[in-house]
Amino acid sequence: MDRDLIDLLNLQVTINPCTDVNEYEEPVYGSAPIVLPCYVDSTIRMIYNKEGLLVTSTAQVYLNNTYIDGDGNTQPVTIGERDQITLPNGKQPLILGILPSYDEQGNLYAWEIDT
C-alpha cells in the first residue's frame, strides 16, 4: 500500500460483522468486533445503493485491505453492507455502499465505505 495513504489512516473505526439475521431480517452481530485504522471524509454526496436507489452519503471511510490481528498475523479486511460500523465520533450509521480500490497491477489495496 502507498505510504502516503497509510499516513492518512489516522483515525479508527470498529467493524462488527453481521453473523446472522433474526426472524425479522434484522442483522445479528458477532462478539468479536475489529478495530481498524481509517481515514474519514465527511463529504455529503449522492450515491446509488445496492438496490439502485439514489441515497445521501454523509461520510466516506477509507480502510487498508489488511490488518494485523492480536496474534501479529496479517488478515484480509472483509466487510459487508449488513455489518455494523462505529465511526470515530461514536455514531453507527448504515453502510450504504462498499467500493474496492485497486492498484496499477489490479491488486486490491483499500476499501471505500459510504455511510
**Domain CATH number, residue 60:** 2.40.10
The range of the structural domain enclosing residue 97 comes to: 3-114
Sorting pLDDT into bands at 50, 70 and 90, what band is 30? confident
* Residue indicated by cell numbers 490481528: 69
**pLDDT at residue 47, rounded to an integer:** 96
Question: Among residues of the chain, what percentage have pLDDT more than 70?
Answer: 97
Q: What mean pLDDT do residues 17-43 have?
A: 94
**pLDDT at residue 70, rounded to an integer:** 85
Q: Structural domain tally of the chain?
A: 1
The C-alpha cell at 13 is 473505526
The C-alpha cell at 69 is 490481528
The C-alpha cell at 79 is 466487510
pTM of this structure: 0.89
Contact 105, 41 (CB under 8 A): no
Contact 85, 14 (CB under 8 A): yes
**CA nearest to 12, candidates 67, 51, 78, 83:** 67
